[in-house]
Amino acid sequence: MAIPDFQTLMRPVLEYASAAPERRLRDTYAAMADRFELSEEERREMLPSGRALLMHNRVAWAVTHLKKAGMLNPVRRGVFAITERGKKALFEAPERITLQYLMRFDDFRDFRNKRNADFGRADGESDTRSGDLLTEDQTPEEKLATAWKTIRADLELEILEQVKEMSPAFFERLVLDVLISMGYGGERADAARAVGQSGDGGIDGIIDEDPLGLDIIYLQAKRWESIVGRPEIQKFAGALQGRRARKGVFITTSGFSKDALEYANMIETRIILIEGRRLARLMIDHGVGVSETSTYVIKQLDSDYFSED
């Protein structure tokens, strides 16, 4: 079963709270995962930031919204209890409690209106924007992650289009810059001298695998629009065998055919195939051809600081 969104979780959380005088948030995580029969993989799925479990984040926000609507009462840190309003909602609310249902309560409307004002929206204006991927089913962390992924995907395409417009010589230098930024090749000047010197029809460059040059990697860089097929990979593999090389990297601005991918996985020589979108991602991750425009730091409450034990 897919991980439920935080609105879908609100009624089950209320029902769970109603079955005991009080509940601990950390127990609620496991109870909701069991309720929705999540697999071990789903229970371990992280937010894109990698800093919290996705299911935990959604349960926590379901609890937060129910507290703001007066349906749950915070007893103490990490512990809550259902209120009379919450018990009443279990009989009166629809099968799926949503933010729209919670808006009938004054204290929740005050919370939402204040939040909207803090984020520059008019009262009553929906968080859902036409044409983007932000929806009310997402927690704030998920909205931020979705926006980040959208911006990154657009940047990947922009980088790839720019790279395709550059000369083959520039592309070879770009490939070296990416590999050096990943820790290969030692000094930039040493790596640059390797480009185009092999004279081998299947090899465009040579780079050290480590700064000491204990092993070397052979490169092939193709600034192509068409898909790279198996013959090109076979040609590269043959050139590697002619040099008794064990490792190679084939990078293209396009992609690889199914036959090319299968062949690279089948042969004994280790050949890594990097297609255009992956190259763009590596450029972003390692700061090649991109620059930072904004940095947002997300902080959370430090519960240990407020402990008086």
Q: Does the residue 301 lie in any domain? A: no
* Same structural domain, 115 and 174: no
Q: Does the residue 22 lie in any domain? A: yes
CA distance 291 to 284: 9
Of the candidates 75, 96, 123, which is a domain's last residue? Answer: 123
* CA-closest candidate to residue 166, choices 206, 223, 250: 223
Start-to-end Cα distance in the chain: 41
User: What SS3 class is residue 207?
Assistant: strand
Asked if 6 and 59 touch (Cβ cutoff 8 Å), the reply is yes
Residue 137's pLDDT is 74
* CA-closest candidate to residue 85, choices 67, 100, 98, 103: 67
Residue 304's pLDDT is 65
pLDDT score of 121 more than 50: no
Residue 114's pLDDT is 72
Q: Does the residue 41 lie in any domain? A: yes
DSSP 245: -
State the pLDDT confidence band at 133, using cuts at 50, 70 and 90: very low
Q: If you average pLDDT over each of 11-15, 217-221, 267-271, which comes out highest?
A: 11-15
* Same structural domain, 119 and 210: no
Which CATH number is 217's domain given? Answer: 3.40.1350.10
* Same structural domain, 170 and 61: no
- Token readout for 134 is 């932000």
Query: Model-level pTM greater than 0.85?
Result: no
* Region of 297 on the Ramachandran plot (φ > 0 left; ψ -120 to 50 alpha; else beta): beta
Domain count, the chain: 2
- Better pLDDT: 123 or 1: 1
Which CATH number is 108's domain given? Answer: 1.10.10.10
What range defines the domain where residue 202 resides? Answer: 162-285
Residue 48's pLDDT is 76
pLDDT score of 273 more than 50: yes
Q: Hey, which residues does 252 pair with through a beta bridge?
A: 222
State the pLDDT confidence band at 197, using cuts at 50, 70 and 90: very low
Beta strands in 141-279 (DSSP E): 205-208, 216-222, 247-252, 270-274
Amino acid at 246: R
Query: Region 167-180: what's the mean pLDDT?
Result: 87
pLDDT score of 160 more than 80: yes
Q: Does the residue 132 lie in any domain? A: no
Q: Does the residue 178 lie in any domain? A: yes
